[in-house]
Amino acid sequence: MGVIISLPVGITRTLVSVVQKFILGQNKPLRIDLPLPFIPIDVVLVSDATQIVSINTNADVDRLHAQPTEKLPRFARWYFSATQFHIASKDKWFLALEPESESVQYQQRLQALKDRLSEGVEHTSITPEVVKNARNVLKRNVSALVPGHQKEGVSAQEAAYSFCERNVESGLNVMDATHTLRTTALTMSVAIMKLKENPDVSVEHLFTRKANCPSPMVPRVVMRETTLNGLLSYPGRPSSTIVLFFINSAAEQTSSLFFTFGSGGEYRSCAFKEFFYDFMTALKAELKGRRSEVKA
Ligand code: HEM
């Protein structure tokens, strides 16, 4: 279909989706389908917890890199190359965006990260400069549109990757180490400040509030033509349609840390979840203890 026909069709379908969701109040995902020349955009935004769980277990969608990088939509490649999830120059993806397959050594990579976490990770070679650089990442999706931010994110990612390439312990995947470095530098300090400001709120409650979820959304890609069990009024397209789960909304709906750290259940949830919970619980007890010492 030429762009002269497909663009108005896409705009009309997008408007229908907006009306269904925001005017008629239908509990359906919002679909933005703009077949623009060079940067076609087709995204399905899902914020309902039950729908996220159902789509996540649907074999018609998978992790982004279940499709070869070059087949993914240009906007997705452009955005993710500025984050801690992908390094464009090496075409490597963080494990959470890889399909669960032998070819990406899913089990070995996961085990290596879990082993490091259970040992208690120590990074003696990480300097303040490395951490400062690692923070130059895209913090929110919209920030990619601010001039220069995407480029800054890409070079921060390149620098973090080459640091990890030189320093990573054997057995640990360099891309997974890069993600860990950048995530720790970016999110842990913010999360610790949140905890400090809210000493009387439980860790579960605090980190399931929409505004406090460190990862607001996670992506999936459509693998074959699908309406996602009737949730879409016309089929998503393989490689082209990206599904975004707003896990921060789902976390608040359910008060479940399985949404803060995944898509609602144990299956493929974050390897860091337990570590984070234990660390924050211990820190909270310490902060409370100090507070009562000061009062006494
Ligand atoms: C507070 C910081 C973090 C948050 C909020 C977070 C959140 C998440 C989320 C939402 C997912 C699921 C992604 C998806 O379903 O597409 C995930 C997956 C994952 N995370 Fe984290 N993460 C954090 C830090 C870390 C760190 C530091 C590590 C490494 C030690 C890590 C290792 C993983 C792994 C290996 C997966 C994939 C698990 C699998 O696919 O089986 N995460 N994380």
3-class secondary structure per residue, 96-150: HHCCCCHHHCHHHHHHHHHHHHHHCCCCCCCCHHHHHHHCCCCCCHHHHHCCCHH
**Ligand 1, atom 25, residue with closest C-alpha:** 272
Note whether 213 and 251 are within 8 A (CB).
yes
Q: Which atom of ligand 1 is nearest to the CA of 180?
A: 27
For the full predicted model, state whether its pTM sits above 0.85.
yes
Centre of ligand 1 from the C-alpha of residue 241, in Å: 23
Centre of ligand 1 from the C-alpha of residue 292, in Å: 34
Centre of ligand 1 from the C-alpha of residue 268, in Å: 9
From 150, 175, 152, select the one nearest 162 (Cα to Cα): 175
Centre of ligand 1 from the C-alpha of residue 215, in Å: 9
Per-residue pLDDT tens listing for the chain (296 residues): 577 888 999 999 999 999 999 999 999 999 999 999 889 999 999 999 999 999 999 999 999 999 999 999 999 999 999 988 999 999 999 999 999 999 999 999 999 999 998 886 555 556 666 666 666 655 545 566 666 788 888 988 899 999 999 999 889 999 999 999 888 877 888 999 999 999 899 999 999 999 999 999 999 999 999 999 999 999 999 999 999 999 999 999 999 999 999 999 999 999 999 999 999 999 999 988 887 777 76
Centre of ligand 1 from the C-alpha of residue 31, in Å: 26
User: 3-state DSSP helix/strand/coil percent for the chain, to nearest 5?
Assistant: 55, 10, 35
What type of residue is 254? Answer: T
Q: Which atom of ligand 1 is nearest to the CA of 218?
A: 16
Q: Which residues line ligand 1 (CB under 6 A)?
A: 95-96, 110, 113, 117, 180, 183-184, 187, 191, 214-215, 218, 247, 260-263, 268, 270-272, 276
**Ligand 1, atom 7, residue with closest C-alpha:** 261
